[in-house]
Structure 1
Amino acid sequence: MDGSYLVVVGSFFLFQILFHLITPRLSALLSRGYRNLQQAQKTEWHSRCVSTVHALIVGGLAMYILWFDDNVNRDRIWGDPRLVKVNIAIASGYLINDLVLLLWHWKTLGDRYFISHHLAALYAYQYVLARGLLPYFANFRLIAELSTPFVNQRWFFEVLGFPRSTRLVLLNGMAMSVSFFLVRIAVIPSYYQQVASSFGTAAFYRLGFGPQCAWITSSVALDILNTIWMYKIARGCWKILFTSQKHRKTEHSTSFQPHCPGLKKQD
């Protein structure tokens, strides 16, 4: 078996261990609120903890490769893929792990968008693992994971009962929206500019029709999903900020009511 696939297998079992053994014990030890959650909420809690660990690992390694791996950055289609294959293998093991959890706990975790996202990513990643193709572009997609910890933290705050108007929740919501936009939406023009600059080159034709289709279709599919998620995040963020602002105005006006006898208390 190729070394990259051994990393995939190891990654899958590592994330399974994190989900079933490590996360439940650490959560019970470190969070009082966790102990009061229902079983379905605990299942999603474990899944999101694992998701955060995965995001920090592959997102951090992806940034390192983009900054320091000259071979990959110099030859985006056929550059030395060794470190990229390690990162893709870790990500693939996680995606398989998450697919298993999504299907096994469908009522709690099931989401057709995540299923579509995972399958599209796994389909494209196999070309990297099996043949070492397109290392730059495959690795570039992984920087999107850097927004995931903020998305998960938003859910943790919500399930623990933190009011949406609290400072921590608002700051995390802003960080989530900004990071999601920067690493998933703002990079789209740059990514497709690099894609377009590769068209028609000898390196591009060497790929063959199958890898070319996998590259383009998976990229477009992932960016459509990212755009949908960005729209939902932006709507949610706007509602929270608007509600928080309205709540503060209401509190401010109410605080002056005792000095204004003519004002009636509103329900």
Structure 2
Amino acid sequence: MEIKSYQNQAELLVKEYLLADSFIPYTSVICGVCACKMVYDLTQKFSNIYFKSYPSLSKVQRTEWSNRSISTFHAVFITVMSLYFVFWSNLYSDYQYAGPVTFRSSALSTFTLGVSVGYFLADIGMIIWFYPSLGGMEYVLHHLLSVAGVAYSMLTGEGQLYTFMVLISETTTPGINLRWYLETAGMKRSTAYLINGVVIFVSWLVARILLFMYLFYHIYLHYDQVKLVHHFGLLLIFVVPLVLSVMNLMWFGKIIKGLKKTLAKRQ
């Protein structure tokens, strides 16, 4: 009876507080931060056991090794959820008559964005703490824009569709991280490294170039609904994707140069 009583109290706590609509943004952010910490610690333990080269890495390399596992975990999670909301869920469908698409949200969509906010906060904290070992000022700018856009969308419920469209671009992250792992393992001349470069090129073209073009086209088609958003939200809908698009094009240029160099060495 005592165990049953504790179980009922736990269920009540989860339903009435942790998963209550007003608490979801804060609960999800905490979950995101805790998940990052858990993945970071587990990566260190598993890497020590299963990767012989891991102990020989420098302290900075071991930190980046674990940090990239966090970003890979987040990328897989947010890509799957974003694809679901944008292309398979009816939440943002034009055929649903639930008001403007720019104001639609759900408990699940808000929780998902909160987890992403938790990741970006944890990651930018690590980037600043170890600056510039884990990334330069462009990474700080990228994460600050991401936190601003995702957090606003999470807290207000405005423009969540466009936030998820932007977050689909995280699908390129696992390939980028795998490239670093291959370089660290001394496999730059391997076939896996070449294939990885091609995959990065294709995924970047689709997820960070073509998809952003679709995003701006979608905004154009639904401008009568977009203009109803508050001024700050409107600013984020236009400015954040625009700045990220410029950064994506700059990085895409570097990817093309890197792929050409890799292919040239193979001839």
Question: 2-side partners of 1:227 and 1:81: how far apart?
Answer: 33
- Partner residue, 2:131: 106
Select the residue among 34, 42, 45 that pairs with 2:65.
45
What are the within-5 Å matches in structure 2 for residues 141-160 of structure 1?
141-160=166-185
Select the residue among 198, 202, 206 that pairs with 2:228.
206
- Partner residue, 2:216: 192
Offset of 1:204 from its aligned partner?
Answer: 2.7
Alpha carbons 2:175, 2:199 under 8 Å: kept: yes
Question: 1-side partners of 2:180 and 2:62: how far apart?
Answer: 12
SS in 2 for 1:72: coil
Alpha carbons 1:73, 1:79 under 8 Å: kept: no
What are the within-5 Å matches in structure 2 for residues 18-97 of structure 1?
18-19=39-40, 21-74=41-94, 75-97=100-122
Measured on the aligned residues, the alpha-carbon RMSD in Å equals 1.4
Alpha carbons 2:83, 2:168 under 8 Å: kept: yes
Alpha carbons 1:125, 1:138 under 8 Å: kept: yes
Alpha carbons 2:85, 2:91 under 8 Å: kept: no
Select the residue among 214, 217, 222 that pairs with 2:239.
217
Q: 1:240 to 1:223 in 2, by over 3 A?
A: same
Residue 13 (1) aligns with residue 38 (2):
no
Alpha carbons 1:34, 1:160 under 8 Å: kept: no
Deviation string 1:200-236 (CA, Å, 9 cap, x unpaired) is x1x3333122211121111111111111111111111
Letter in 1 for 2:218: Q
Alpha carbons 1:180, 1:230 under 8 Å: kept: yes
Question: 1-side partners of 2:199 and 2:33: how far apart?
Answer: 29
Structure 2 unmatched ranges of 5 or more? 1-21, 95-99
What are the within-5 Å matches in structure 2 for residues 122-161 of structure 1?
122-161=147-186
Alpha carbons 1:144, 1:183 under 8 Å: kept: yes
- Partner residue, 2:14: none
Letter in 2 for 1:174: V
Offset of 1:143 from its aligned partner?
Answer: 0.9
Alpha carbons 1:84, 1:139 under 8 Å: kept: no
Question: 2-side partners of 1:158 and 1:27: how far apart?
Answer: 16
Offset of 1:16 from its aligned partner?
Answer: 2.0
Letter in 2 for 1:68: W
Deviation string 1:149-181 (CA, Å, 9 cap, x unpaired) is 01000000000111x332111111111111111
Question: 1-side partners of 2:23 and 2:236: how far apart?
Answer: 22
Which of the two has higher C-alpha Rg?
Answer: 1
SS in 1 for 2:57: coil
- Partner residue, 1:261: none
After superposing the two structures, state which structure 1 stretch, 28-37 or 47-56, moved more. 28-37
Offset of 1:190 from its aligned partner?
Answer: 1.1
Alpha carbons 2:168, 2:207 under 8 Å: kept: yes
SS in 1 for 2:83: helix
Letter in 2 for 1:231: G
Residue 3 (1) aligns with residue 24 (2):
yes
Instruction: Give the aligned length.
Output: 241
Structure 1 unmatched ranges of 5 or more? 246-267
Query: Normalized against structure 2, the TM-score is what?
Result: 0.86
Offset of 1:108 from its aligned partner?
Answer: 1.6
Query: Normalized against structure 1, the TM-score is what?
Result: 0.86
Q: 1:228 to 1:235 in 2, by over 3 A?
A: same
Sequence identity percentage: 22
Question: 1-side partners of 2:154 and 2:132: how far apart?
Answer: 32
